[in-house]
Amino acid sequence: MLSGKTAVILGYGDVGKGCAQALKSQGARVVVAEIDPICALQA
């Protein structure tokens, strides 16, 4: 159902990481927006 869709995650903390992993496992294209440069590098 999510395969091929684009999902935007705002923030890459604990919740953002979990959401990004879940969406990616469902086949979605994940885009992360993060203001903290350290977290942005992890994304």
Average pLDDT, the chain: 93
28 with 2: CB under 8 angstroms?
A: yes
pLDDT at 6 over 90: yes
Question: Where do the structural domains in the chain lie, given as residue ranges?
Answer: 6-42
pLDDT at 42: 86
The per-residue pLDDT for range 7-24, each reduced to its tens digit, is 999 999 999 999 999 999
Q: What is the dihedral of CA 9, 12, 17, 18, to 10 degrees?
A: -60
* Long-range interactions of 7-11: CB distance < 8 A, separation 24+: 7/31, 8/32, 8/33, 9/33, 11/39
CA 16 to chain centre: 6
To the question of pTM greater than 0.85 for the whole model, the response is no
